[in-house]
Structure 1
């Protein structure tokens, strides 16, 4: 879909589509006088830009009043970009309602769980369930689609922007009504809802639908299933808005693909993007690096997960930063090479377009210190020279366009509902971090030079020899059957503490932990053993565990103990187990070992699955390898994760990007990326 989208920009001499990767940014010409626009397109040509997103925050400019429209400036921008060979991903402009609308209809503003109104002055100040907002937003969408339906610059529609970034949870009366409707559709009867929510506890039984509210601020912990359902509902409410805009766009422009920009990042867990993926014609993502000590691993993990959400098909990197952002406590500039390495890591994991926020750095507003492709210093800057160099690299990588990620032998299962449920209140520990545990496993595999795919529960799990499911807390009966079948048919499952504990209603699987997975794993845990912050236990394989321990009893034959506790309350008992199941196995890790401890354990887990690294041992931990395969060939991406030069010996293939040594090895400079074509199409 993305390669088809970009082929609209320019065809070959014979009229056939030319493979290309997208390159561009959010473009906000309304922030600048018209004389700047001509310089913009000149610099876009110089940098190799071929696609930009336009109109994202333009509602107040496009519709200055309830019945006043001003499209003349946008007409000029669209025409100018088309004349210069730049396609437009045109936003519907509904992300930020104009002042006239919120003044006339303050009832569209979101409300917090404390009953506080979120007022205008920033962005995304609208309720996803407001019928008044929906009416005005869809009117704007219809005007936009009618006007630009046949414009030659239009290559895609960009619904809203970063749906849910600031308004995922609204507790207003509109939300309460919509929540009740959602619950009726899910449960049909109050008896079914009362059972699912366990309302016999704390005298919460409902006798009328109108009694049900969102989990607003309460005297104590709100009902946990109510909280979980409100998370599901809130994601669905935003998805419903996406669908509403999409319906108008498809009615008026059926041949123009529709997308919206996801935010697959650690801090944006409110939107179940795995559930949203089928609602767009191609997946698009925004990603920003947050300093953590594992920035490189997290960027790779998030790009990998985006590919998993997209089903391995190419996707669109809609936003990332050329250098510093503006919203962190300390906003660090990127070092030389990081702009290209960050961008190409996304390409390695399936991005067919690399775009930034934004094209020209703003002179005013909250994001004026956020980097851009053209910085405040202008085109005569190291940053813009790095941008143009990246444009040249993406041109060299044009044969990669349209290729899919080659499946890895290891999969890491990422599940939004387990993320939501495992981190709710009233749990054995408030220190559990679902995303961090998944990232630990990914980092450990990177350190061993082993490729892995981050996949969601809807994926074909059988394509992986090993499946790692960290903190898979919420396991419906059907998923438990799927995982059992996976292991018995030759797969090797690995799961961890606090997995298999509850069903889809957040009810405990009774009989001992790990509940739904207990028989498959061949173990039983009677009581959890969380550890206070700062405390640890030692295992007899010299690793150290934190956060959690379990009092494990082995209950089934063919269950071996791979490591035991040497210290702590469960000293002498199993800490890591593996049970043979059919022609596969199922392993359990009962404590947080961290990336380093998992790197020591993983070779023993990988061995029965027959999984090894494709890289020479000398570069394990220094180089990440990713493979894309398509009509243009099989492409091996090598990413230098370090600040030192690295030489990768013993690899055959044509070097598309990068340098070779005299002996045929691939030489990666600090923070460098090389790409080899290892076979023909």
Structure 2
């Protein structure tokens, strides 16, 4: 077994030599040395090469490339190749194919064409995993196992009969009796009461709104089913290849919410994720930062592995813009700032054919003689210099709560406003804090909230009694807790908490809401303090809270919009609308000021500042996302430029500095 690269930020990515003739492999090794590549993920989509027919395995090519990588001192993150079945398997067993919401079979011809509940698919996948583990468990190039790839990216939810049977088994475990199931799902409504388990189906296409808890439980079931599949592969690897860490690559992107990664995180030896900049977002760099902070939260604050990102354009957006010169370096180091100790890309060499032929790579179509590859080589040099940062942790005194199951419930059928999306408020709070130089951990409500000076609870629609109590305990212990609209509304069965909103947080906040006033797309809510709200407003009564701002117009004129209530040695704040950036920033300055939370560094607008600290020192990451040169009043040694950094040193637009602090 080989150790993961430990004296530098590891650099590499998906390597697919089976796409290329063997004469290209030698050139790959030469270019990898030039670029400073220290690891590759190998074999992700190679099942049809490894097992060209049932039970007939061909490992000769993989043996050769493993030896070649070892000879070139490159660590291998070896995939189990179970992400996508070969055509012969789908042809022999069409019952493994997934079915969409409308009952259409999803056929082979792309990737991930398999049902997450299929025992047949699992048997074949585990057989392949066993073969790989037995053959390569002690190979000197092997440093990590990579199970499957981007679980649930394309094949859930699946609504086939196999999933229906699996769902019923899952429901029996969760609810135990039909009486409990009927109570949890509220089936007294619309005559949905079940009298036999066989009557229960997936929430397939129906006449109108589906039962919300039915939909919620199905999302839980699908996430749990894939997690069980992951565990089954991991168990084989742990048994046959002990001591080699196992991971699977998450997708902590803005648009991906199919899996409860907080449950999955406990099953990973190393937390890894993929992230791609989504060009159509209003604040794409802010979303990148949020993703990094969420991944760090999943890792319990420890450094994590960026398995995939892109050097430039991707292939799956409606329009795929190239990154500006310097964008590869900037985005990579922005991830390191948020806790990544490894930088992986999809992929090593840009494909000549296939659906991802226009997806950028470390070696572009233009080859070595290209600006993008020269930037990759520069990144390799920087990754070497950043070796001293390895193992250090990001400093954060603010927590933003994030719960995938609350997101599923908030996006359920027949909600007060389909325009209200779970991530919106969390992203806004995180971005506005980032603009002020304040770093936040994005964590599950089960995290130790007493470790933070500020806890933000954004749109936590569904919350358990236990987690609501933990938020209150954090405030009592001294934290400044900011709860936003549409939080604490339902319990874990998605039953509304009666007695007035915000349900689980009503007593903590000292407010009571009788009715929601969601805003139309062209509506705003003006506040007396000058701020403007959008998306949402509420009829708030301050029962036991200080009113900090009120609605200034419309049907809620004079009603509280922002409140504060002291509790224990802390305080609980409530925000009932989505404020504009300036007003939200002013509120957050009050909250963080009351908590004694200061900016990581005094930075101008458009520059993010994050500090990583280890036993041997601290490093200040400065990322200039603005369109102009900036000057930041800090002193130290910049590891990116490898030169002293002073308060007079300009940081170019789009540039990054990593300052070893003195």
Mark the CA change 1:637 to 1:68 in structure 2 (over 3 Å): closer, same or farther. Answer: same
Separation in structure 2 between the aligned mates of residue 139 and residue 661 of structure 1, nearest angstrom = 55
Residues of 1 paired with 2:654 and 2:2: CA distance?
A: 29
Indicate yes or no: 2:266 matched with 1:278.
yes
Structure 1 residue 404: deviation in Å? 2.1
C-alpha distance after superposition, 1:338-380 (max 9, x if no partner):
1111000111111111010000000000000000000000000
Q: Of the candidates 115, 119, 142, which is equivalent to residue 107 of structure 2?
A: 119
Number of the residue aligned with 1:144: 132
- 1:154 counterpart = 2:142: yes
| Alignment partners' CA distance in 2, 1:623 and 1:519 | 39
**Which of 386, 393, 399 is the aligned partner of 1:404?**
393
Given candidates 639, 662, 668, the residue that maps to 2:651 is 668
1:107 and 2:95 matched: yes
Q: Does 1:429 align with 2:412?
A: no
Work out whether residues 350 and 405 of structure 1, in 8 Å CA contact, stay in contact via their aligned partners in 2: yes
Q: CA shift at 1:6, angstroms? A: 7.3
Q: Which residue of 1 aligns with 2:72?
A: 84
TM-score (ref. length: structure 1): 0.95
Between the aligned partners of 1:227 and 1:267, the Cα distance in structure 2 is 19
Tell me what 2:320 maps to.
331
User: Greater CA deviation, 454-463 or 90-99?
Assistant: 454-463
Question: 1:654 aligns to what?
Answer: 637
Q: Per-residue deviation at 1:122? A: 0.2
* Aligned equivalent of 1:555, options 537, 543, 549: 543
The DSSP-based 3-state class of the residue aligned with 2:623 is strand
Q: Name the CA distance, whole Å, in 2 between partners of 1:310 and 1:593.
A: 31
1:298 corresponds, among 287, 291, 303, to: 287
CA positional deviation for 1:657: 2.7
Query: Does residue 1:22 correspond to 2:7, yes or no?
Result: no
What is the 5 A alignment of 1:255-654?
Answer: 255-291=243-279, 292-406=281-395, 408-556=396-544, 559-616=545-602, 619-649=603-633, 651-654=634-637
> 1:640 and 1:194 mapped to 2: Cα distance?
54
Structure 1 residue aligned with 2:151, among 135, 138, 163? 163
Instruction: Write the distance in 1 (CA, Å) between the matches of 2:608 and 2:2.
Output: 28
By how many angstroms is 1:666 displaced? 4.4
Mapping for residues 100-249 of structure 1, pairs under 5 Å? 100-249=88-237
| Alignment match, 1:12 | none
Partner of 1:15: none
1:52 pairs with 2:40: yes
The answer to whether the Cα contact below 8 Å between 1:400 and 1:632 also exists between their aligned partners in 2 is no
Distance change in 2, residues 1:367/1:663 (3 Å): closer
Structure 2 vs 1, CA of residues 668 and 196 (structure 1 numbering), >3 Å: closer, same or farther? same
SS class of match (1:265): coil
TM-fit CA distance, 1:664: 4.8
Give the Cα–Cα distance (whole angstroms) in 2 for the partners of residues 664 and 507 of structure 1: 56
Retained in 2: the 8 A contact 1:659–1:667? Answer: no
Contact 2:531/2:580, CA 8 A, preserved across alignment: no
Q: Distance in 2 between matches of 1:84 and 1:119?
A: 40
**Pairwise CA distance, 1:659:** 6.8
Alpha-carbon distance in structure 1 between the residues aligned to 2:558 and 2:352? 64
4+ runs of 1 displaced by more than 4 Å?
659-666
Output one character per residue of 1:317-351: Cα deviation in whole Å (capped at 9) or x when no partner.
00000000111111100001111110001111111
Q: How does 1:27-42 map to 2 (within 5 A)?
A: 27-42=15-30
After superposition, the Cα gap between the structure-2 partners of 1:520 and 1:663, relative to the gap in structure 1 and judged at 3 Å, is closer
Deviation at 1:595, TM superposition (A): 3.3
44, 47, 57: which is aligned to 1:69? Answer: 57
Structure 1: gaps (5+ residues): 10-17
Deviations along 1:627-675, whole A, 9 cap, x unmatched?
22224422221111212111111x2433333476785544311111111
Shift of 1:515: 0.6
1:151 & 1:119 partners in 2: Cα distance? Answer: 37
Q: Which residue of 2 aligns with 1:14?
A: none
Q: Which has the larger displacement, 640-649 or 325-334?
A: 640-649
1:462 offset after TM fit, Å?
1.0
Contact 2:600–2:611 at 8 Å: present in 1 too?
A: no
Consecutive unaligned residues of structure 2, counting only runs of 5 or more, are none
Q: Distance in 2 between matches of 1:622 and 1:204?
A: 53
CA distance in 2 between partners of 1:397 and 1:176 (Å) = 50
SS at match of 2:514: strand
Q: 1:164, 1:641 → 2: CA distance?
A: 32
Maintained 8 Å contact 2:401/2:443: yes
Q: Are the aligned partners of 1:488 and 1:581 in contact in 2 as well (CA < 8 Å)?
A: yes
Instruction: Provide the C-alpha distance between the structure 2 equivalents of 1:51 and 1:589, rounded to a whole number of angstroms.
Output: 47
Q: Distance in 1 between matches of 2:645 and 2:297?
A: 38
User: For the residues of structure 2 that align with 1:404 and 1:468, how far apart are their CA atoms?
Assistant: 21
Whole-Å Cα distance in 2 between the matches of residues 543 and 276 of structure 1? 40
Q: Deviations over 1:516-564 (max 9, x none)?
A: 11111101111111111111111111111111110011111xx111111
Q: C-alpha distance in 2, partners of 1:594/1:244? A: 47
- C-alpha contact 1:659 1:668 (8 A) present in aligned 2: no
Measured at CA, do residues 243 and 432 of structure 1 come closer, stay the same or move farther in structure 2, by a change above 3 Å?
same
Report the secondary structure of 1:605's partner residue: helix
CA contact (8 A) 1:224 1:424 kept: yes
Change (3 A) 1:661 1:353: closer
Q: Is the 8 A contact 2:510 2:543 kept in 1?
A: yes
Q: How many residue pairs were aligned?
A: 661
- Judged with a 3 Å threshold, the aligned counterparts in structure 2 of structure 1 residues 362 and 645 are, in CA distance, closer, same or farther, namely same
